[in-house]
């Protein structure tokens, strides 16, 4: 069962896995090392301790299938930190991170306290897509005077880590990487076996994260959570893309027969439903081809018989969007 889901194919940016590895008290040292790598220059001191805080599961999509899974903690030096991995470009990332920063900052003040008791708040966004204009993979934003460069204070820090930009940079030897670059290499997960072993040997915390990933992968329930998260993401992406294309196409057809306005609405609804269905079956088909799911398991999750699912896998629409021949790593 799940034979092909292993360390090589495992995605460290799956946020279910991220929270399992970085959000557990027993692995606090891993999170502390990760935060220290990214925040030392900003804080001007090493992080010596963290306390985890509970976070609310906030829906990312209207249907509620995708929730925000983040890791929230307070540093022993007083700062608050929220870390989130984000694989979906929801087109509102800048405002979202400001919103979560504002929540942290606002609720750090208890009744009876004064403004001087407000705690600096830091968000770290690890992105699987490119968002910002600069070439470097790491960007930090704060409040400052654009003319003089003077910073108002250090209460606001927004970090963006764009993993695709790191992956596109000229490749360095593990021994030449900074601690922060080694963590980026961990999340990019594009190393061969020798490099992965060298990365683990170079940093005890990253080695611990890799060990935690093995524990995660050995748990069938967690593996299902991982797969379901990947499918929910694909459903979302497929629904958005295909509903735009199919909705416009069907909307125009309906518009000619029943009126452009009403037809376009109906077309968008049909396109969205069709797009989500194609995306889900396509994702399940890929999991079957990779040996992650059996045909029977995939058919059950798709709400089909094995014969129906086999026929769907062989359909031209699935083959066009999810071809059998794919590049493997």
Query: Which residue is listed with tokens 């699987």?
Result: 128
What pLDDT does 91 receive?
80
Interhelix angle 260-289/306-313, nearest 10 degrees: 100
The closest alpha carbon to 64, from 235, 223, 220, 224, belongs to 235
Residues 6+ apart with CB under 8 A from 83: 22, 34, 35, 70, 71, 72, 123, 124, 126
Structure tokens at 20: 């399992």
Question: What is the per-residue pLDDT across 62-111, written as a single tens digit (0 to 9) for each?
Answer: 444 555 678 999 999 999 999 999 988 878 899 999 999 999 999 999 99
Interhelix angle 28-43/204-218, nearest 10 degrees: 140
Domain boundaries, the chain: 15-218, 221-321
Residue spans of the chain under pLDDT 50: 1-3, 62-64, 259-260, 263-264, 267-268, 271-273, 275-276, 324-329
What pLDDT does 328 receive?
39
Bridge pairing between strands 80-86 and 121-127:
parallel
What pLDDT does 260 receive?
44
What pLDDT does 59 receive?
54
Q: What is the DSSP string of 203-240?
A: -HHHHHHHHHHHHHHH-HHHHHHHHHHHHHHHHHHHHH
What pLDDT does 37 receive?
97
- E-state strands within the chain: 50-53, 58-59, 67-68, 70-75, 80-86, 121-127, 138-141, 156-162
What pLDDT does 238 receive?
67
d(CA 83, CA 73): 9
Structure tokens at 319: 């083959």
SS3 content of the chain, % helix, strand, coil (to 5): 55, 10, 35
> In angstroms, what CA-CA distances link 56 with 129, 184, 313?
24, 27, 38
């Amino acid at each position: 069962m799940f034979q092909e889901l292993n360390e090589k194919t495992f995605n460290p940016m799956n946020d279910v896995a991220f929270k399992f590895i970085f959000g557990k008290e027993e692995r606090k040292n891993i999170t502390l090392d990760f935060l220290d790598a990214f925040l030392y220059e900003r804080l001007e001191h090493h992080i010596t301790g963290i306390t985890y805080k509970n976070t609310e599961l906030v829906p990312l999509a209207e249907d509620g299938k995708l929730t925000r899974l983040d890791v929230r903690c307070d540093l022993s030096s007083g700062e608050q930190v929220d870390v989130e991995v984000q694989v979906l470009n929801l087109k509102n990332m800048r405002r979202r991170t400001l919103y979560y920063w504002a929540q942290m900052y606002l609720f750090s003040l208890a009744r009876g306290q004064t403004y001087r008791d407000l705690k600096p708040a830091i968000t770290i966004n690890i992105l699987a897509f490119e968002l910002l204009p600069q070439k470097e993979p790491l960007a930090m934003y704060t409040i400052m005077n654009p003319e003089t460069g003077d910073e108002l204070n250090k209460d606001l820090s927004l970090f963006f880590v764009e993993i695709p930009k790191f992956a596109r940079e000229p490749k360095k030897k593990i021994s030449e990487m900074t601690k922060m670059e080694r963590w980026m290499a961990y999340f990019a997960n594009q190393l061969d076996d020798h490099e992965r072993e060298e990365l683990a040997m170079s940093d005890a915390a990253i080695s611990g994260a890799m060990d935690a990933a093995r524990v995660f992968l050995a748990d069938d329930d967690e593996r299902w959570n991982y797969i379901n998260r990947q499918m929910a993401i694909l459903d979302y992406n497929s629904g958005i893309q295909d509903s735009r294309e199919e909705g416009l196409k069907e909307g125009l057809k309906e518009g000619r027969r029943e009126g452009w306005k009403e037809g376009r609405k109906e077309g968008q609804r049909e396109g969205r439903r069709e797009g989500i269905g194609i995306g889900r079956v396509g994702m399940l088909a890929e999991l079957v081809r990779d040996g992650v799911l059996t045909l029977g398991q995939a058919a059950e999750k798709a709400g089909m018989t094995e014969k129906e699912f086999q026929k769907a896998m062989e359909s031209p629409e699935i083959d066009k969007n999810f071809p059998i021949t794919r590049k493997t790593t």
